[in-house]
Amino acid sequence: MGGNFFTDYTKLKARVRCHIGEFTSRCGEHVNVREEIVRCLWFGGHFPQDELKNDFGLRMEIVSPGWWNVEGGPDFIRAEFLMEHAGRIAGDVEVHTRADDWWRHGHHLQPEYNNVALHVVMWDNTGTRRIVKENGEEVPQLTLSGYIEEEIAELADIVDMEAEDSHSHEYTARKRFCTRAVETGEFSPAMLCEFLDAAGDHRFKSKSEKLKKQYKESTLEHILYQNISEALGYKNNRLPFLQIARNLPPPVLREIVPRDSTNHEKMKTTEAAFFGTAGFLDNGPGRHTDAQTSEYISELSKIWNELPARIRKVKMASTHWNMAGSRPANNPLRRLAALATLYCIHLEKGLFRRLAACLQADSANPRRRSDTVMRDALTSTFTELRHPYWSYRYSFRSLPLSKPVALIGEQRAKDILTNVVLPLLLTGARNEHDEDMQEKVFQIWQRLPANRPNRIIKRMHEVLMPDGRKWAGPNTTFRQQQGLQQLYNDCCSTKKGCENCMLRYLTRI
């Protein structure tokens, strides 16, 4: 093998395909994807928007995914899309993991589902059986599995990793090819590290390519806004945060926040728009709040009631939000305050421009590595957010804290950096043919410290190092952890597993 063999994982995959054919998608039937995740995929538009076809083979284009419905009935209401031969269609959307859930849930007998205009599923397991409503009408179906690519499935906890794959224990670690190859020295630690670096780079570039597809229909600023909003929603409140992002995109915020107002007035107007749209101002201060909280809520409520009617009419309800199961510092109200603060600060000049400017900080401190200086400048954009009320509160009813607590912590800021900011900066640099910016993005990427390992990374460690040996490899950088994730997607998660292992065929070509 030549010295440059590992430099392009994409070429390696192409060569391996010549031997074993196409890889099986990570989104095969064996992966446990919860229905709420499929709803997020649909609502967040995590699939190519310009090449959709329904299961009848008719081209379609999504105008609006609809309004997330928390009452009884279909998952989304008032959706709109264009359908070949049918034109513009408005109606409800029902989402399931598998197509036969339509019958298992009894929707074919329920009149409240007669306004469903589209059935969205991850997998179609019904064969030729058609989706029919209680009134006898047939419902077109969109199957997402053919459009969802592997990396999307792990982004920000999209796949539920609490359940093991059904085939995950077909081979013990001692019987796996890669385990034997490491033990016998067929793969040296240096060789495996180089391979994982290339696989990690491939995964990073793939994330950028997906954002580039979104860029065809939107702006970098709006894509950044939507993805940060989703990340701040964590797994329990992704949909409401996405709803906020849809209701209050940057152009709408700029319209309702007067440019000639003071910074204090801008912040209050932005907060009022966010908290009012979220439905958190509906009940007023309440009798259990202290004087500071009562004054704060009253001030926001007054501003909210003076905003244009078209803004106030899309208000959400408290039932949209999951307030349980999160640490006090991660309360959705605090995350919403962080989002409002972030966008108020950067509303006029734009957050993307601010993040791009952070890449010029590499020469600010000659005593530190340039990639560390740039990385810290990027993450501090999120971790240094301060708020006079929410930096000292967990909720409207909590007592004031003696010391401020970060609105966005270090780990969440790092997640946003790796999954959103760096891929989007790379997209922008490529679009502008800015080679210097591309190089700086890769400098940061290649030296990111490792994250706390998730279930997949731990499992890959067990396979490659079953006796717990330590070596300079995937523990060293986030880049190599992503390489392990990519190897898992391409090989270990597929039904043939070891038979199609990239490492096995690497020794043959």
Place of tokens 């996405």: 242
Residue 269 near residue 256 (C-beta atoms within 8 A) = yes
Does pLDDT of 96 surpass 60? yes
Task: Of 37-51, 142-156, 322-336, give the range with the top mean pLDDT.
Answer: 322-336
User: Whole-angstrom Cα distance, residue 389 to residue 401?
Assistant: 10
pLDDT of residue 30: 43
- The sign of the torsion formed by the CA atoms of 474, 461, 31, 493 equals positive
Q: How many residues does the chain have?
A: 509
Instruction: Tell me how far apart the alpha carbons of residues 233 and 45 are, in angstroms, rounded to a whole number.
Output: 16
- In this prediction, residue 147 carries a pLDDT of 81
381-415 pLDDT, tens digit per residue, is 999 999 999 999 999 989 999 999 999 999 999 99
pLDDT at position 261 over 80: yes
- pLDDT of residue 472 exceeding 50, the answer is no
The token duo for 153 is 């499935």
Name the residue among 138, 86, 95 with its Cα closest to residue 114: 138
Other C-beta atoms lying within 10 Å of the C-beta of residue 129: 12
pTM of the model: 0.79
* Between 418 and 286, residue with greater pLDDT: 418
25-31 mean pLDDT: 46
Model pLDDT, residue 112: 95
What pLDDT is recorded for position 269?
Answer: 96
Alpha carbon 179 to its chain's center: 32
Residue in this structure with the two tokens 């067990």, named with its chain if needed: 462
Between helices 422-431 and 189-215, what is the axis angle to 10°?
70
Q: Hey, what are 179's tokens?
A: 């385990």
Q: What is the chain's mean pLDDT, rounded?
A: 83
pLDDT of residue 486: 86
- Over residues 130-153, mean pLDDT: 82
Q: For 42-94, how does the pLDDT look when each residue is reduced to its tens digit (9 = 90+)?
A: 988 878 777 899 998 999 999 889 988 888 899 999 999 999 999 999 999 99
pLDDT at 361: 74
How many Å apart are CA 122 and CA 130, to the nearest integer? 16
Residue 228 pLDDT greater than 90, yes or no: yes
pLDDT tops 50 at residue 11: yes
Backbone angles phi, psi at 477, to 5 degrees: -130, 155
Helix 9-20 / helix 189-215 crossing angle, nearest 10 deg: 100
Structure tokens given for 134 = 């209680």
DSSP string, 50-106: SSEE-TTS-EEEEEE--EE--SSS-SEEEEEEEETTTEEEEEEEEEEEETTHHHHTT
Greater confidence (484 vs 504) lies with: 484
pLDDT of residue 195 exceeding 90: no
Residue 127 has pLDDT above 90, yes or no: no
User: pLDDT confidence of 162, banded at 50, 70, 90?
Assistant: very low
pLDDT higher for 391 or 323? 391
Neighbours of 112 (CB within 10 A): 13
Residue type, 188: S
| The predicted structure's pLDDT at residue 32 | 54
Compute the distance between CA of residue 116 and CA of residue 133 in angstroms, rounded to an integer: 8
Map out the domains of the chain as residue ranges: 35-148
pLDDT of residue 210: 79
pLDDT of residue 164: 37
Residue 162: CB partners within 8 Å, gap ≥ 6? 455
Q: Is 490 exposed, middle or buried (0-12, 13-18, 19+ CB in 10 A)?
A: buried
